[in-house]
């Protein structure tokens, strides 16, 4: 059995008992990458020489018993800065950027002696839902190489699903961890805003972005989130709250758990096979002792337009720094203003330009109140909808995505259809609350994602419910075709 089909706890125990070596794990990662990544194209940059040196040092010197991530191969989404390892955000404008420091989340996994295998592909500057807007490659879904892996963390989800790494870090601005996790049949957690430091994460939308873990199992996810969470003096938005031992919450007991199912999440626009899998998952939760009620989140239908105004406005401000002066691509010209224009025109792709223009318009004089202010008011109403439901319920359950993975090229020329793919994930980011996606079955041979949404800083409850479901659902999702048959 491939080592990556085992869980983190099992592998860590074998490593400490010297049944396996860190070098074995790293060898497996690179062997798998060399075998399948020519098809999947999850990685943009590999860290092979340094990774093998780190593994050798762990084999020679050992590591602390409580360092559960020690020796474990991990992939990093390419919008998290990594010292000495190129960080591009999948954009030509940063194609040669070599950071001088590590993002806080990268520091934290390195402190545990996890081994960075490489940087993972993504939609350019995390703007997209399919990883098709990357300037360098289109990542393929390991379940079907003709389909997208989702986005923007498509490289992260595909690498885990294809067995190239044990787990990966992604980011979620409007569903960019959960949606690709659903499409690729893996587990992805979007933490509460502030639970994980954003320092060293190249900003897209500062009030929405959150880093989080993508793994094969709920238990592995819990360990990885615990590692990367916590207060950071470099990030004023990080929460000064104790980080729970999330794995301790995995008791399997959810008797009496109050589960809300929004009628809007199983209504028009949701694929019938997706609905069938979600209803079966809800019945499974009921069989475990959960109490299920139908509820309403009436303002969720306004989430997509509100999100794209807010996110694009913040992107317009954040991406102003990429001007060809300090770092990144610089156009050759003798005129300063012309250099700004050409550098940005040549460096940014179409989707990034589209969102910069939309955001600049929404923030402009005469339109700010009509668009940006109104979107923020809608955001408040969406947050209040969640607060009302959580007065009487512990978690909210529904599908992660309206459909399974769509074909490459099918929606890329239709921005409105692409934006609608985030219909069920965006409200969570607007409210700043946590949510996890985990596989709950297949529809026409493709994974379906079950989304569980929790109260602010309620990740423990989400892990408890997700793990109980995972352990009793009675299936294990493994890609049956595509790159995985090699």
Asked if residue 414 has pLDDT above 90, the reply is no
Instruction: Place 484 in a pLDDT band, splitting at 50, 70 and 90.
Output: low
- pTM for the model: 0.95
Residues 341-364: what's their mean pLDDT? 90
pLDDT greater than 70 at residue 143: yes
Instruction: Give strand ranges (E) for 271-425.
Output: 291-295, 395-399
Q: Is 336 exposed, middle or buried (0-12, 13-18, 19+ CB in 10 A)?
A: exposed
pLDDT tens string 96-126:
899 999 999 999 999 999 999 999 999 999 9
**482, pLDDT greater than 60:** no
pLDDT value at 166 more than 60: yes
How do the domains of the chain map onto residue ranges?
A: 3-257+434-471
**Which residues are known catalytic residues?**
77, 152, 176
Q: For the purposes of burial, counting CB atoms within 10 Å of the CB of 56, is it exposed (0-12), middle (13-18) or buried (19 or more)? A: middle
Q: Please give the biggest Cα pair distance in the chain.
A: 71
| 153 pLDDT more than 90 | yes
Q: What's the token pair of residue 23? A: 């070098």
Confidence (pLDDT) at 443:
95
CA 438/CA 447 separation, integer angstroms: 10
Model pLDDT for residues 369-405, shown as the tens digit of each residue: 999 999 999 999 999 999 999 999 999 999 999 999 9
Q: Of 422 and 52, which is predicted with more confidence?
A: 52
Residues 6+ apart with CB under 8 A from 98: 84, 85, 86, 87
Please report which confidence band the pLDDT of residue 198 belongs to, taking 50, 70 and 90 as the band edges.
Answer: very high
The model's pLDDT over 269-290, given as tens digits with 9 standing for 90+, comes to 899 999 999 999 999 999 999 9
In the beta sheet, which residues pair with residue 454?
A: 395
Flag whether pLDDT at 314 surpasses 90.
yes
Cα 361 to Cα 321, 375, 379, 411, 415: the distances in Å are: 18, 14, 19, 25, 18
Those residues whose C-beta lies under 8 Å from the C-beta of residue 6, and which sit 6 or more positions away, are 14
- State the Cα–Cα distance between residues 405 and 183, nearest whole angstrom: 5
Helices (H) and strands (E) in the chain, counts: 15, 11
- At the topology level, CATH places domain 3-257+434-471 in Amidase signature (AS) enzymes (3.90.1300)
Confidence of residue 476 (pLDDT cuts 50, 70, 90): low
Measure the CA angle with vertex 64, ends 60 and 69; round to 5°. Answer: 90
- Show the CA angle centred on residue 292, arms to residues 291 and 296, nearest 5°: 140
What percent of the chain clears pLDDT 90, i.e. is strictly above it? 85
CA distance 170 to 180: 10
Q: Cα separation of 304 and 301, whole Å?
A: 7
Gap between the Cα atoms of 437 and 221, Å rounded: 11
The position carrying tokens 């790494």 is 165
Task: Check the CA dihedral 74-98-200-307 and report its sign.
Answer: negative
**Rounded to an integer, what distance in angstroms lies between the CA atom of residue 351 and that of residue 486?**
34
């Amino acid at each position: 059995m491939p080592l990556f089909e085992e869980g983190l706890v099992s592998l860590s125990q074998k490593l400490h008992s010297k049944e396996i070596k860190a070098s074995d794990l790293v060898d497996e990662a690179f062997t798998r990458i060399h075998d399948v990544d020519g098809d999947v194209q999850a990685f943009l940059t590999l860290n092979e020489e340094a990774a093998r040196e780190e593994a050798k040092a762990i084999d020679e010197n050992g590591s602390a018993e409580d360092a559960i991530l020690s020796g474990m191969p991990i992939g990093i989404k390419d919008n998290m800065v990594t010292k000495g390892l190129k960080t591009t955000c999948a954009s030509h404008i940063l194609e040669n950027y070599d950071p001088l420091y590590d993002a806080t989340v990268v520091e934290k996994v390195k402190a545990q002696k996890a081994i960075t295998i490489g940087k993972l592909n993504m939609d350019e500057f995390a703007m997209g839902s399919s990883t098709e807007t990357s300037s360098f490659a289109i990542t393929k879904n390991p379940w079907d190489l003709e389909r997208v892996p989702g986005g923007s963390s498509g490289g992260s989800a595909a690498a885990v699903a294809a067995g190239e790494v044990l787990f990966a870090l992604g980011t979620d601005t409007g569903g960019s961890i959960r949606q690709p996790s659903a499409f690729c049949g893996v587990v992805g957690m979007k933490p509460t805003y502030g639970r994980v430091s954003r320092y060293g994460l190249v900003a897209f939308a500062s009030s929405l972005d959150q880093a989080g873990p993508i793994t094969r199992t709920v238990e592995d996810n819990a360990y990885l989130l615990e590692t990367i969470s916590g207060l950071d003096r470099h990030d004023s938005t990080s929460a000064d709250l104790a980080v729970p031992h999330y794995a301790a919450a995995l008791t399997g007991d959810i008797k009496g758990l109050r589960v809300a199912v929004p009628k809007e999440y199983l209504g028009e626009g949701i694929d019938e096979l997706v609905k069938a899998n979600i209803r079966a998952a809800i019945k499974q939760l009921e069989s475990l002792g959960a109490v299920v009620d139908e509820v309403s989140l009436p303002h969720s239908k306004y989430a997509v337009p509100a999100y794209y105004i807010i996110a694009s406005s913040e992107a317009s401000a954040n991406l102003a720094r990429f001007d060809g002066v300090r770092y990144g691509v610089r156009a050759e010209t003798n005129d300063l203003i012309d250099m700004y224009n050409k550098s940005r025109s040549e460096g940014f792709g179409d989707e990034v330009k589209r969102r910069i223009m939309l955001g600049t318009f929404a923030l402009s004089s005469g339109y700010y109140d009509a668009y940006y202010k109104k979107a923020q008011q809608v955001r408040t109403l969406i947050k209040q909808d969640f607060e009302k439901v959580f007065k009487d319920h512990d978690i909210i359950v529904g599908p992660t995505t309206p459909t399974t993975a769509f074909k490459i090229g099918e929606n890329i020329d239709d921005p409105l259809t692409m934006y609608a793919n985030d219909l069920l994930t965006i409200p969570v980011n607007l409210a700043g609350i946590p949510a996890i996606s985990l596989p709950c079955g297949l529809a026409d041979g493709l994974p379906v994602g079950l989304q569980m949404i929790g109260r602010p800083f309620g990740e423990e409850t989400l892990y408890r419910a997700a793990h109980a479901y995972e352990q009793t659902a009675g299936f294990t999702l493994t890609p049956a075709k595509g790159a995985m048959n090699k």
